[in-house]
Structure 1
């Protein structure tokens, strides 16, 4: 062993530890056949049983090797004493001991091991590797074991291989097909869609039709074609209710809850006008999935931020892996001004989403929108770009990237990204694209076209049943542009209508925008100042920047140049801090027009102006002496999120650690 290590050139340090362990394992395995030739035959029988079974449980090895259990224990002790058992991987043992064994003999060994392990009640993940060594899983218990192992394993590619092996043995098995379609739906939604439709055509029972229609509808956010399953699901649900009754119990309760969730998933961008179904308690994963989609529907319809966020938090109490539905629930928290909690939720979803696929893309898109609004534009651009890279042909991801780049001041690049055709996630993509085009038209001085685009955005959202005032706040721009055009009646109608909508949703940012619209229409600087004060206490940095800019413009029109300069300067500082470079440049020009002077911009090492809102809050608490765990509890985020933000704070401020924050985290004059 030492000679092998010397020949390999490994050094006795931590960097070589893994390679040294691998070499030692290989040497032990290579020595085993020679050692076994000097021992009685039952030694080899036990060693082969260990290689096949993949573990050293004496009771199972005794059955597999056909050796008394007491003798098995003696053999295991001898192998351990020789250093030939511990630290040697079963796969390496198999290659060493069975190199000359015919394949069919080895398969019979695996089949026997699988039966023994199954009869002994071992976990499916212990049995599945033996079943994978067989040509086919031709018995029902084998396929059931593979399905169970696929659910239990934490390795997604392995789960898919287990299900493919089971499906190859019985392509018509509905349970296996559903599990397989579910496992590939995130990365291959169109293939999952085709498999489920084909199976639905062959389904003969009410339960099978309900299960297949449910899974089809669940694919709707990832593939628009799956939305066509909504009528089929409606029929299947009606049939299922006729069989199960209105209040099913046990596994049927979960099926009913998942079917109701799928009904919302199929029309996820169009909230139902009335949700008359009872709100689930959230006791099971299916019910928590339903709560996630109920919260998103509530948010889109603008029903109540408190109710929607309560349901979102209940959905996010899920302790297992999170999916795209949880990303939607997390976005609800952000729309209710709970941005720090939303960031923590997004982190949890991404932790189990993998590096590609629909869940990754949707989560990154939603987080990019939240970060761009909350004043962390570089992170928003990075998330949006990752979303574009994660999936093919998702125009919404490009719209989100364009929106983030526009806020970063990269207007030309943003314009090139906007698609000309209809977008496949309409509730996000189409309104955002129209809002962005309206902003660009207003920047070019084409106020009539900007108003037309804003109004079209409002009509599109109304057609979809979306009334949340924050999804795409076209109405703020429309009210202001109507007033600029001299149409005060139209301006007041829009402002009054959405004042009621904002009050119903109830978040501070929505109410602040309503005050801003009313103040702009009435040229009431006191109301606009109230809007600024309200928005400044929320994470809505983008809207607050524009509110300060609008207030400065209103004061300048009243020839209050000092007041205008104050708000222009505040808007410029906020825009610079958040990375809104285009807005910052525009506001600085307005500051000069009001007779002010432009302060030199920070280089990123001089103070808190470069910190995002979340970073400033965490830095302030850390400077006051709070521990990471205390900060996490207060802001309702994870400790990992606090650590990540503090690392960013130290880098931006150029300080070595939290002890330096007391003096360095405050903006310098």
Structure 2
């Protein structure tokens, strides 16, 4: 990716065109786009310029090859068809579109190298810029050159996106011409030798800018000035005004229609002759003559459409128009284009540059353009169109619909604006189902932005507007009460009791039974009671219909967390795995990232540390590649799961770096998912020997959880971790109190993992024979729970305690088992500690290091399975939102671990996975 940057007129476009010509001579496939200020609010305007001609000229077979697989999602950006009625905001669709455009590009490179050239990138629309950034992160190993120009000194439409793109590219800065170059140009214009003083004065007046030099020389020639030293005062007088004067003078030397047509094209920016003639109010033959004159003057190009050769010339022409004249011409252009059935976005871009027209027709192109913008994931453009539409006259029902659409768009761009007018908006909508739809959509989107309090407020307003007794209000009420769990200040409203009163739903009730079951299971888990009922509710929430539920990651995550806390981790893992597969098939990158984050958390709980690390890294990479601030809470889940996995794996520096890189090394935001981060950071600090830091984190985690009303240690065993820190600091009383409290709560909860973790802490803090007895019970409970890592920790501690008590045979047996389990988990530090205890006994540890199929991570197994089924690397990369190079690296690791050398051997080697020990790391994939 290469950026050609420089001031206006320095020659960037000329160099880009030369590169395009060279690429075509070298049998590249070339796709080009010209970004423009007038189309910066037109979603995917640049992308459409790049790819629409390629699709249009392709044969049916070529089109099918280009749009095969995930590339089919690219059509969302390329279609000119208006969306179906009813605007739906779909961030998942936007990310699927980016993924599709990436694979369309990859398919283009299959037959030849590709040059993708964009002129004036500072004017590119936001979705196109985001896609270029998306492409840049995946450009490795592709025979592709992305070349774009950037004009320095012009304010970009989306400055931060342009900056990110430019900083990631190889930058080529174009310098000004030297004085001797100016002399050479002057000799070409005047046909005689040029005085050095004349050339030096021209160079000083223009700064060596090639375009300004040329226009200055044309102006001097027109004034019959000779290239001698006597002309220096005249050159200084012209100076910076040379361009505007030159262009104006050149146009005025021709008949009035030439100026009129130039102004029309300047307003339209790129157009056919018929439209330009209509806007200039010229008869077709007169307009044709004027166009020929402008082409001969090198002002316009006529192929494939009328357009200015140089943006500086267009600006000079527009500069001569008064603001009111310009706005009036944009209004007439919009009307002409709408009558000619031009795309709504093109009409809307002109309407944005006018004052209110007082014309009812103007509403429709703006409404359609807004609907298209939202369907393509460009809410900022939609907001601009809808705000402009509301300035035109329209019947009250249409205005209400426009305001609803504006609220759905503004929530992604301007949340304060939504909060300002949402009460009036909900009051104006009369149909209860429409009120419910609007409140539910806004509330859910706010939830996805982690705006829990604001989501609760909007849902409550919806309930009040409809009336609590109305069936349509039931699900709003459930969502409102669910939000109350995540905002501690709302806990006094007794949301759990109110939700419990709705269960079970009556037959024929409009209540979403799965969602209510998931929320009840999730919230009841905080109480450390009713675990059997919780498991049944969570199972009910995920039983059947999952393909529907993947559209609501909040319900899925609530259900799997309840299962996880109730020691149904294997089921929770399978649910996440099934959801992830469905989301991959649909191309829903955002929700796939959320699901990977929770799957990482579950894998860490199961002791599959390498799997957890891989899923968490995948989730974070996807979150980082997504636009907007969605799912920040799920990103915290991924960070915490990664820190938990890295700590267990002994990669403590990497865990510390992860926290620091995410701004979580010191302060953790007081949001629900921040509790998980605090707990995992505390465990990391303990592993690093920062006992006081670990204690502070665990106690702060506990303070926050108690504020939320969480007492169940199955969620976060902060008391056990704090007890171990107190014990390490020589504070046995505080350690014993916290450990005993957690054991009591864990027994009340009645599930083995929480009890095993609590008993382990109590056993360590008490020590002696009683401590060993507690550690033995802890190991038994953890074995039952299926958490291999915690089980290995308990066995190592038990072995160490028995060694001190002189029970050498039992100590050896437990320590060897701890080593075997730790190596399966990849917990090298834990395995080394157990080996040290064995050596202290005079025993020689046996290696139980995992090898063969058991050494594969779950992600490696998934990729290997697809490869064994005959999928190509490209198809696998499409499925997992990664590059082909990433797939190649994974398969290289798979071959090494399985001891094979060819793809054809995969099926046989993978068959061993089904026969391997159920403790292997690829179980339930």
**TM-score normalised per structure 2:** 0.47
Q: CA RMSD in A?
A: 5.3
1:467 and 2:711 matched = yes
Where does residue 365 of structure 1 map in the other structure?
A: 597
534, 539, 542: which one aligns with 2:786: 539
Give deviations 1:168-187, integer Å, cap 9, x for gaps. 645996666666766897xx
Shift of residue 574, structure 1, vs aligned partner: 0.8
SS at match of 2:562: helix
- TM-score, normalised relative to structure 1: 0.63
Most deviating of 498-507 and 543-552: 498-507
Of 603, 609, 613 in structure 2, the residue corresponding to residue 377 of structure 1 is 609
Where does 1:56-205 land on structure 2 (aligned, <5 Å)?
A: 157=377, 169=389, 188=412, 191=413, 193-200=415-422, 202-203=424-425, 205=427
SS at match of 1:537: helix
Contact 1:230 1:267 in 2 (8 A): no
What SS does structure 2 have at the residue aligned with 1:203? Answer: helix
1:344 aligned partner: 574
Which residue number corresponds to residue 590 of structure 1? 837
| Whole-angstrom CA distance in 2 between matches of 1:385 and 1:481 | 29
Say which SS state the counterpart of residue 414 (structure 1) adopts: helix
2:808 counterpart (539, 561, 579):
561
Tell me the equivalent position of 1:327: 557
Alignment of 1:279 onto 2:502: yes
The one-character-per-residue Cα deviations of 1:313-335 (angstroms, maximum 9, x if unpaired) are: 44434542423312232222222
- CA deviations on 1:256-283 (whole Å, 9 max, x unpaired) are 4444444446569979765121235396
Q: Decide which moves more: 133-142 or 587-596.
A: 133-142
Residues paired across the two proteins, number:
530
What secondary structure is seen at the aligned counterpart in 1 of 2:520? helix
Taking the aligned partners of 2:777 and 2:791, their CA distance within structure 1 comes to: 11
Are the aligned partners of 2:756 and 2:778 in contact in 1 as well (CA < 8 Å)? yes
Which residue pairs with 2:654 in the alignment?
A: 413
Alpha-carbon offset, residue 205 of structure 1 = 1.6
**SS of corresponding position for 1:322:** coil
Instruction: Give 2:454's match in structure 1, choosing from 216, 229, 241.
Output: 229
With over 3 angstroms needed to count, the CA separation of the structure-2 counterparts of 1:426 and 1:587, relative to structure 1, is farther
- Report SS of the residue matched to 1:422: coil
Match of 1:423 among 668, 671, 675: 668
Give the whole-Å Cα distance in 2 for the aligned partners of 1:565 and 1:487.
30
Q: Provide the C-alpha distance between the structure 2 equivalents of 1:499 and 1:177, rounded to a whole number of angstroms.
A: 55
Matches within 5 A, 1:187-586: 188=412, 191=413, 193-200=415-422, 202-203=424-425, 205=427, 217-219=443-445, 221-224=447-450, 226-229=451-454, 232-233=457-458, 236=461, 240-241=463-464, 244-249=466-471, 251-264=472-485, 275-277=496-498, 278-280=501-503, 281=505, 286=512, 288-316=514-542, 317=545, 319-320=547-548, 321-325=550-554, 326-350=556-580, 351-352=582-583, 359-389=591-621, 390-391=623-624, 397-418=638-659, 419-424=664-669, 426-441=671-686, 443-444=688-689, 447=691, 450-482=694-726, 489-522=733-766, 523-586=770-833
- Secondary structure of the 1:478 match is helix
> C-alpha displacement at 1:657, in angstroms?
4.8
**Secondary structure of the residue that 2:614 maps to in structure 1?**
helix
Asked if 1 retains the 8 angstrom alpha-carbon contact of 2:611 and 2:857, the reply is: no
Instruction: Quickly say closer, same or farther: Cα 1:590–1:302, change in 2 above 3 A.
Output: same
TM-aligned CA distance change 1:181 to 1:414, over 3 Å: farther
Work out whether residues 476 and 513 of structure 1, in 8 Å CA contact, stay in contact via their aligned partners in 2.
Answer: yes
Map of 2:252 onto structure 1:
none
1:428–1:547 Cα change, 3 Å:
farther
Quick one: distance in 2 between partners of 1:253 and 1:492? 47
Contact 1:327 1:345 in 2 (8 A): no
Distance 1:255 1:443 in 2: 47
